[in-house]
Structure 1
Amino acid sequence: MAFLQDYSTGVLICTFILLLMLYHLFTGSRNEPPGPKPLPLLGNLLKLDVDRPHLSLLEMAKQYGSVFTVYFGPKKVVVLAGYKTVKQALVHHADEFGDREIMPLFHDFTKGHGIIFANGESWKEMRRFTLTNLKDFGMGKRTFEEKIIEETCHLKEEFENFEGKPFESKQLMSYAASSVISAIVYGPRFDYTDPQLRNRVDRANESVRLSGTASVQLYNMFPWFGPWIQNWRLLMKNLELDIKEITDTVEGLRQTLDPEDLRGLVDSFLVRQQTVKESGEKDSFFHEQNLIFTVGNLFVAGTDTSSTTLCWALLLMAKYPQTQRRVQEEIDGVIGARQPLTEDRRNLPYTDAVIHETQRLANIVPMGVPHMTSCDVHFNGYFIKKGTCVFPLLTSILWDEEEWESPHTFNPSHFLDEQGRFVKRDAFLPFSAGRRVCLGEGLARMEIFLFFTSLLQYFRFTPPPGLSEDDLDLTPLVGFTLNPSPHKLCAVKRF
C-alpha cells in the first residue's frame, strides 16, 4: 500500500515538473515577440476560433502589436500583421523569412517534394524549372491568352444552357480553371463532361474545404490523432487517387513523347529526365515524385484561387447591381461585342478596380501559406529563432485600416483616383510577396480578367426569383481558402 502511495506521489511530481517545463518552454525569452500566455499542451487554443483563426489573430494584433507569438496547441507561431510589417519581413528580409513551414498535413500531401510545400535546393530547382516553362509555354503572352479565351467560350456555353434559371457556378468555374491548367501542363484541355476532369475538381474542392476544418487543424497540432480523424482519412484517400491519376496520365504522355514537339510542362520535365539519365548525373531533382507533386501543386493552386475569386466576383455583381451595370457600360463602350483581350485592361479602369476590390475583400487565403525562419532573426526589436513557424497574415494587409479607406466594405474606389483612373495600391498583396510569391500570379491575373469581362459582357447576374440582393450572403465557408457560402445565381443573356 505504501509502495502504491509512493508511486502515485512520484507520478504527480513528475507530471508537475513536466508541466513547469512546458510552461517555461512556452513563455520563452524576454525579447521574443509578446503574446497571450499559453496553457501547457493546449497553448492558446481556448482563445482561438479554430474555424476562422484569421479573425482571432486580427483581434490579437490589436492587443499585442504587429509581431506577436501565439501557440496552436504546442506549436509556436509568430504572426506578422499589417502591410508594413509583412512587407518588411517577406521583401526586405526575404532570405530570413523565405523557408516554408511544412506542417504535418502538408508533409502528408507532398513529402517535401514539389513547388509549394518544399524547401532547399529541390524547391529552388523545381520553382526555377516551372517558372521557365510557364514562360516558354506562353505565360503573359498571346499563346496563354488564346487558351483562356477558348475556355471562356466553353464556359459561356455552359452558362447559357441554364437559360436564365438559377444554378451554382462553383463547379463550372473550377472546370474552366482546371481545363486551362490541363492545357498548360499536359497539352490538351479537358471537356467539362470528362470524368477525369470532374473527379479531379471534385476531389480538389473537397480537399481544400477539409484542410481548413477544425479537426484537421487539430491534426496539425497533434498529428498522432491522424488515424482517428475522419477528415484526415478522407484527405489521404483523395491524395491517393490524385497520385494514381497523375501517374497514369504522365505514363501515357511518356509513351507518346516527341522531344521536337513538346505539348506542355510534363513533356519538358520528361525530356529533362532523359537528358539527366543520359549524362549519368546523380542526385538529380528531376525524379518522379517531384514531377507528380509539382503537377498536383499546379492543379490545386491554379484551379482553386482563380475559380474562387471568380465566384466571389459574380456574387458581388449580383449583390451590387449598380456596380454591375457600371462595369457593363464600360465594357460596352470600350469593347462592344468583340472578344475581350488582355490589352483591354488599361482601357477598363473601373472594371479593373472591381476585380482588384473583389480580390481584396474576398481575402481568399487569409493567413497566407505558412513560412519558416531559415536562421535566427532580429526583427522589429524582437528575437525569432531559426525554424520558427511564421504566419504572414494576409487578412491584416488586405483589410489594413491604415491602408484602406473602408476596409470591410466592397468599394472599387479604393483603386480609382478622382479622375476615375486606375491606381495601383502597394497594400494589394493577395498573392503574397517575396521569395514565396505565387508563381502563377501572371496566369491568375489574366484568367480572372478575361473570364470576368467575357461573362459580364454576355450575361447579367441576378439573385434567384423570390430573393433580393439583401438575401445574398457574403459569409465565407470554412476552408484552407475562403469560398462563398453555397448559393445560386441567374445568368441572364444581355443580347
Structure 2
Amino acid sequence: MGDIFNQTNITLTCVFIFTLIAIELYRRHLRSKDQPPGPWGLPFVGYLPFLGKNPPRKCTCLAKTYGDIFRIQLGSWPTIVLNSSAAIREALVEQSETFSDRPDFFSCKVVNNMRSLGFGSYTPRWRLHSKIASTVLREFASPNKPTTEKIIMMEAEKLTEYFLENTHTHFDPHEEIFLAIGSVIYQICCGMDKDCRNDKGYINLIKNTKMMQEFAGAGNPIDVMPWLRYVIPSKATRFVEILQTLIVSTDTIMNEHLQTFDEKYLRDVADGLIFAEKKYCRSPKKNQGITKSDIFSTLQDFLGAGFDTSSSTLEWIILYLGHYQHIQELVQQEIDSVIGTRSVSLDDMGKLPFTEATILETQRVSPVVPICCKIFHATFWSKDLDPM
C-alpha cells in the first residue's frame, strides 16, 4: 500500500512540474510573436545560467546571431538587449519616454516604494523630482564652483601624500581611494570639513555603503527571480536591513541640517534639498504629488551613486598606468610641460589632451559597471514587456 502511495505522489509531482513547464513555454511562445528574436532559456531561470562569468561578452556573441536588438529572458523578466550605438540612440533620444521607466524589481520597490530618484517610476512626479535634484546639484556640486574644486584638490593632495609614503613597498590603494572619493561626495552633500574622516556620520556612511556594495555587487537575484524570496527569505531580509541602515544614516544628516537651517545661507546639498522641499511641497500647484520624504531621499541617491563608480574608475586608471608604463611617462611629460610644479586645476581642462584621452580610453576599455552598460542601461525597460 505504501509503495502505491509513494508512486502516486511521484507521478502527481511529475505531472505538476510538467504542466508548469508546458504553461511557461506556451506563455513565452505567445509573448515572443511580436518581440525581437533571441535564444530560448530554461523555465523559471530563463537565460541566466548561460550568461556565464562575462555577460557583456556573451551578449556581444548573441548579437552576431540575433542582431543588434534581441530578447533574452532574465529569470521572470523578458529583457531587450540593445547592442549597437544606433539602437541605443534610438531608444535614448528618439523614444526616450517609452524607455524611461523602471521595472518593479523587489529592490526598486523596497527603496522608498519606487518613489526615489534612482529607482522611481517615470511619472510627472519623478520628472519634477529629477528637475529639483539637477538644480541642487548645479548649485552645490558644479565643477566650476570654488568650494567643489577646493574639496577635490584637498583630497587629491591627501591621496598623493599616502602614495608617496608607501613607495617603499607594495600596497593596495583601494581603501584610501574609496575614502578620498567618499570624502569629496560627503563634503559636497553634507558640509565641508577639514578632515571628515573623523566625522561619525561619514564613518557610518562609509561602513553602510560598503555593506550594500558587498551584498549587491553581483546583483540581487530576487529582482529577476522574485519567487526566490520565499525560498531564501534571509536574502530579502538582509537586503532590507542594510538598506534601512543607509536610510537611518541619511535621515540623521537631514535632521541635523533641519535644526540649523537658514534659507539665507545655504551651505550644501542637504540645505539645498530642504530649501526645495519648502518651495515645492507646500505648493499644490507645483508639487505634482511630490512629498518631503521624496525630496529628502535624494540625499541617499547622491551619496550612493558616486562612491563605487568614481573610486573604481580611478583604480582602473592607476592599474593601466602601472601596466603600460610608457603611457604613464607620456602623461607625466605632458603634465610637467604644461602644468609644471603647481597643482592641476579644472581650468587646465583642454590643455592636457593626451592625459584626458588616457582617462577616456580607460573608461571605454574597462567600464566600471559593464553589465549595466550592456544589459540594464543599454537594455531598456518597456511597459509592453510584462514579467510572468
**Normalising TM by the smaller chain, what interval?**
0.7 to 0.9
Distance 2:275 2:283 in 1: 12
When residues 96 and 175 of structure 1 are mapped into structure 2, their CA distance, relative to the original with a 3 A threshold, is same
Aligned residue runs from structure 1 range 125-164, under 5 A: 125-143=128-146, 144-162=148-166, 164=168
- Residue identity over aligned pairs, in percent, reads 26
Residue in structure 2 matched with residue 20 of structure 1 by the alignment: 22
Is 1:317 aligned with 2:321?
yes
The residue type equivalent to 1:265 in the other structure is V
Q: Contact conserved, 2:281 with 2:292, CA < 8 A, in 1?
A: no
**1:138, 1:74 → 2: CA distance?**
39
1:191 Cα deviation after fit: 2.2
Q: 1:230 to 1:162 in 2, by over 3 A?
A: farther
Tell me which amino acid in the other structure corresponds to 1:64.
Answer: Y
Which residue in the other structure is 2:107 paired with?
105
User: Residues 4 and 137 (structure 1 numbering): CA distance in 2 closer, same or farther, change over 3 Å?
Assistant: closer
1:345 corresponds to which of 349, 354, 365: 349
1:99–1:315: structure 2 CA closer, same or farther, 3 Å change rule? same
Letter in 2 for 1:84: A
1:184 & 1:283 partners in 2: Cα distance?
A: 28
Per the alignment, residue 62 of structure 2 pairs with 60
Counterpart residue number, 1:288: 293
Aligned to 1:298: 302
Q: Kindly report which structure 2 residues correspond to 1:211-230, keeping only aligned pairs within 5 A, or say none.
A: 211-213=216-218, 217-226=220-229, 228=232
Once the two structures are superposed, residues 409-431 of structure 1 have per-residue CA deviations (whole angstroms, 9 ceiling, x without a partner) of: xxxxxxxxxxxxxxxxxxxxxxx
Cα distance between partner residues in 2 of 1:222 and 1:387: 14
Q: Distance in 1 between matches of 2:211 and 2:57?
A: 23
Letter in 1 for 2:79: V
C-alpha RMSD of the superposition = 2.9
TM norm structure 1: 0.69
CA drift at 1:135 = 1.1
Please give the alpha-carbon distance, in whole angstroms, between the structure 2 residues aligned to 1:259 and 1:146: 24
| Contact 1:113/1:289, CA 8 A, preserved across alignment | yes
* 1:327–1:9 Cα change, 3 Å: closer
Give the conservation status (yes or no) of the 8 Å contact 2:76–2:226. no
> Offset of 1:20 from its aligned partner?
2.0
After TM superposition, the structure 1 = structure 2 runs for residues 42-441 of structure 1, keeping only pairs within 5 Å, are 42-49=45-52, 51-119=53-121, 120-143=123-146, 144-162=148-166, 164-189=168-193, 191-213=196-218, 217-226=220-229, 228=232, 232-276=236-280, 279=283, 284-292=289-297, 294-368=298-372, 369=376, 372-374=380-382, 385-386=384-385
Report the structure, 1 or 2, having the larger helix content: 2
1:376-417 superposed Cα distances (whole Å, 9 cap, x missing partner): xxxxxxxxx35579xxxxxxxxxxxxxxxxxxxxxxxxxxxx
Which amino acid in 1 is paired with 2:212? S
Per-residue deviation, 1:8: 7.8
| Alpha-carbon offset, residue 313 of structure 1 | 0.5
Task: Give unmatched runs, 5+ long, in structure 2.
Answer: none
Aligned residues: 376
Measured in 1, the distance between the counterparts of 2:127 and 2:293 equals 17
Contact kept in structure 2, 1:74 and 1:221, CA below 8 Å: yes
**Runs of 4+ with >6 A deviation:** 1-11, 280-283
Q: Secondary structure, in 3 states, of the residue corresponding to 2:169?
A: coil
Q: Could you tell me how far 1:171 is from its partner in structure 2? A: 1.9
- Which amino acid counterpart does residue 296 of structure 2 have in structure 1? L
SS at match of 2:371: coil
User: Residues 3 and 194 from structure 1, CA distance in 2 versus in 1: closer, same or farther, beyond 3 angstroms?
Assistant: closer
Residues 48 and 74 of structure 2 are in contact (CA less than 8 Å); yes or no, is this contact kept in structure 1? Answer: yes
Structure 1 residues 268 and 85, CA, compared in 2 at 3 Å: closer, same or farther? same
Compare 344-353 and 137-146 and name the one that shifted more.
137-146
Inter-CA distance 161–238: structure 2 relative to 1 (3 Å threshold): farther
2:189 touches 2:299 (CA, 8 Å); kept in 1? Answer: yes
1:42 alignment partner AA: V
The alpha-carbon distance between structure 1 residues 117 and 335, as it changes in their structure 2 partners (threshold 3 A), is same
What is the CA–CA distance in structure 1 between the aligned matches of 2:7 and 2:324, rounded to whole Å? 71
Give 1:192 shift.
2.6
Decide whether the 8 Å contact of 1:373 with 1:388 is kept in 2.
no
What is the deviation of 1:157? 3.0
